[in-house]
Structure 1
């Protein structure tokens, strides 16, 4: 992150450029719109094999590959077959349970202003819709891991501190909204873990100034992941 503030117009231009790049990639794979995808169109998964959802994911965006319990039955499959005389209808299969809370991925600019660690009102709304509601629906999730990430601009020490402050700001807000503090752990990774889907180390080589800020946007992120779940009874 920059320690010296850039002109507002430059910052807005950088964010807009990053957003348009991300949108263009999603448009190439419309069926995967709600999930983080790499440059080859593959869905990015965490260490548990779970798909990474974007910050704007909704149940309507669910696909069978990632959220089979949330995918809708096609209309033609839902049509009742004509009854056959003497045929006994099989008992209806039990409804699939709601899929457990999954990892959520947020671009840092969706939650915070550039180079800041105070949640924007838009960021608070996102956390309300995507995290607070999810935790209320899933009391079996006993630990939520919030991890802040920064880009490589600036010093390692500064970027580490910024990522930690952002993770702690997200945690503090969730606690203020009723999520128990003991269910949340916040930490920062600084610039140590660039977004694997973006490959910014190679993609951003030779860039400087606003172009570099925009190119490194995928590295500036916050992830929220249910780490431990109590066994269902």
Structure 2
């Protein structure tokens, strides 16, 4: 049986042989082309789709031959295209280089978890259960609330406790500043009594400068120690804000 395409390529074949002098194939290496498609092939094939070669092992090119086509024509059982066996020196760089085995990366080194971030907790204790009006002595109910708070602090690697005292607007600014400082000091004394380290507790008094009631009590009448309605309305302003900072255990 005559090789495929021989009838119309006879004139081109003679030229193609001379162009393939440096081909890398040898006669004992049959190159069966993978004919998955029906497109042109760069080399002359026999009836078994094996590339036809001369006695020197040189491949016969067809008129379709190009570097790109030779580099993309697959050979059965080989990872390299037909051009590597027939025209290896003409193939694009890397086309005929064996693929390196995939590098197995070692498992990543376990990363230690970051240290716990200090968490901040803020608790406001209502004055009507902590202090009586115009007083800096803790009430029994106020002590109970502070004891509960102190127990919560035991779950922290405690860094600091800040107690900030406040008053309502009844009275002079100077008097209220002093009263707020006494209230903060009373809170510190009791926290130390129930086991909170004294060196971790810091106090401050801000007097009447930071009310929480706004204007909602303006209609309660004249300011004074006998205006019970106003005193009751301003209760949220008479407070001690306590904030603890530490690392959660």
Matched, 1:189 2:206: yes
Q: 1:191-228 CA deviation, whole Å, 9 max, x = no partner?
A: 01111xx32xx2122422222212211111111112x4
Q: 1:69-99 CA deviation, whole Å, 9 max, x = no partner?
A: xxxxxxxxxxxxxxxxxxxxxxxxxxxx9x9
Looking at both structures, which has the greater relative contact order when contacts are Cα pairs under 8 Å and sequence separation is at least 6? 1
Using the TM superposition, give the Cα deviation of residue 185 of structure 1 relative to its aligned residue in structure 2, in angstroms: 0.4
Q: Distance in 2 between matches of 1:125 and 1:210?
A: 26
Q: Which runs of 5+ in 1 are unaligned?
A: 1-96
**Alignment correspondent of 1:205:** 218
Alpha carbons 1:101, 1:134 under 8 Å: kept: no
Larger radius of gyration: 2
Point out the structure with the larger helix share: 1
CA-based RMSD of the aligned residues comes to 2.2
Alpha carbons 1:101, 1:138 under 8 Å: kept: no
Q: Which runs of 5+ in 2 are unaligned?
A: 1-115, 222-226
Matched, 1:150 2:167: yes
Matched, 1:160 2:177: yes
Matched, 1:118 2:137: yes
Alpha carbons 2:156, 2:246 under 8 Å: kept: no
Counting only pairs closer than 5 Å after superposition, residues 30-41 of structure 1 correspond to structure 2 as none
TM-score when normalising by structure 2: 0.48
Q: 1:86-135 CA deviation, whole Å, 9 max, x = no partner?
A: xxxxxxxxxxx9x9452111111211222111112221111111x21011
**Alignment correspondent of 1:222:** 240
TM-score when normalising by structure 1: 0.51
Aligned residues: 128
1:154 and 1:163, CA in 2 relative to 1: closer, same or farther beyond 3 A? same
Give the 3-state SS of the residue equivalent to 1:147 in structure 2: strand
Alpha carbons 2:133, 2:231 under 8 Å: kept: no
Counting only pairs closer than 5 Å after superposition, residues 1-233 of structure 1 correspond to structure 2 as 100=119, 102-129=121-148, 131-139=149-157, 141-195=158-212, 198-199=213-214, 202-208=215-221, 209-226=227-244, 228-229=245-246
